[in-house]
């Protein structure tokens, strides 16, 4: 049985590139996306020579929707070896700003629900499925490849909720990703700087491109391809605009303030 993968947000951008890369590596793909029409178009392209791809609609912020799509992938492929929680959205105004209002309105937490809760849902599905599987040829029950952002460790004042969500993904991978190898599961996150996708406006991308500040999407795709053959886990990998010269760079976590703090976390782990 050939290996198979499940990708959220696979109809466009980074997810699309990952799907194409996986098929090139003889891995079947199941694309779960809110844009079902776009997902089906990609599936048709990938299935031109052989049946290697399938798709379903998903709302990653909705647990039941994720369960339905993931369950279909398991039913279709029997086994899932790779999971990529890639679906995401950009910043939007979260706190209502109406000086004339007398009451209080709920903040819009859509970005958090998609970019963090959605990832947690996908990771939960992946881990539960992997635990039911025997290790594959690479010695792992399964691999998870998250897409975070440099906003996961840098701070951007104009993107507070997006930054909070990506910090959450980085924290998840740095912590849970160090524990999962005990169960023969790996999880890493790639954190690119700005890539031209549908997450922002063309004018913004044009401004960055004039200063050679856009990250080449192949930096993310090539790094995911390299990770297919590795058992690395818990790594946070930065892709900068200077990728072609310096490559993908694994980022270290914050240093402990003192030995006592470090020892506390050693005890928490064990």
- Three-class secondary structure of residue 43 per DSSP: helix
Which domains are seen in the chain, by residue range?
4-269 (3.40.50.720)
**What pLDDT tens digit does each residue of the chain (270 aa) get?**
589 999 999 999 999 999 999 999 999 999 999 999 999 999 999 999 999 999 999 999 999 999 999 999 999 999 999 999 999 999 888 888 888 888 998 999 999 999 999 999 999 999 999 999 999 988 999 999 999 999 999 999 999 999 999 999 999 999 999 999 999 999 999 999 998 877 766 788 888 889 988 999 999 999 999 999 999 999 999 999 999 889 999 999 999 999 999 999 999 877
What pTM did the predictor assign? 0.94
Q: How many CB atoms lie within 10 A of CB 33?
A: 27
Which segments within 115-159 are labelled E, that is strand? 142-147
Q: Which secondary structure element, helix H or strand E, spans residue 236, and what is its range?
A: strand 236-239
- What CA–CA distance (Å, rounded) separates 251 from 132? 32
Q: Is 46 exposed, middle or buried (0-12, 13-18, 19+ CB in 10 A)?
A: buried
């Amino acid at each position: 049985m050939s290996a198979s993968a499940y990708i959220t947000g696979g109809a466009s951008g980074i997810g699309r590139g990952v799907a194409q890369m996986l098929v090139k590596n003889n891995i079947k793909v199941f694309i779960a996306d809110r844009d079902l029409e776009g997902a089906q178009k990609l599936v048709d392209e990938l299935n031109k020579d052989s049946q290697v791809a399938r798709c379903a609609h998903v709302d990653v912020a909705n647990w039941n929707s994720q369960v339905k799509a993931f369950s279909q992938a398991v039913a279709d492929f029997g086994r899932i070896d790779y999971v990529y929680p890639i679906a995401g959205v950009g910043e939007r105004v979260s706190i209502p700003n109406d000086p004339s209002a007398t009451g209080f309105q709920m903040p819009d937490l859509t970005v958090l629900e998609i970019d963090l809760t959605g990832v947690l849902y996908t990771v939960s599905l992946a881990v539960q499925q992997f635990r039911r599987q025997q290790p594959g040829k690479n010695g792992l029950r399964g691999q998870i490849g998250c897409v975070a952002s440099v906003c996961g460790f840098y701070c951007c004042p104009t993107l507070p909720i997006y930054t909070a969500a990506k910090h959450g993904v980085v924290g998840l991978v740095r912590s849970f990703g160090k524990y999962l190898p005990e169960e023969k599961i790996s999880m890493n996150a790639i954190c690119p700087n700005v890539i031209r996708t549908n997450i922002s406006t063309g004018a913004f991308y044009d401004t960055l491109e004039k200063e050679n500040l856009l990250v080449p999407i192949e930096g993310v795709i090539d790094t995911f391809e390299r990770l297919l053959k590795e058992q690395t886990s818990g790594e946070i990998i930065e892709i900068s605009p200077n990728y072609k010269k310096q490559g993908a760079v694994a980022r270290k976590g914050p240093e402990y303030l003192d030995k006592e703090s470090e020892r506390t976390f050693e005890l928490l782990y064990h």
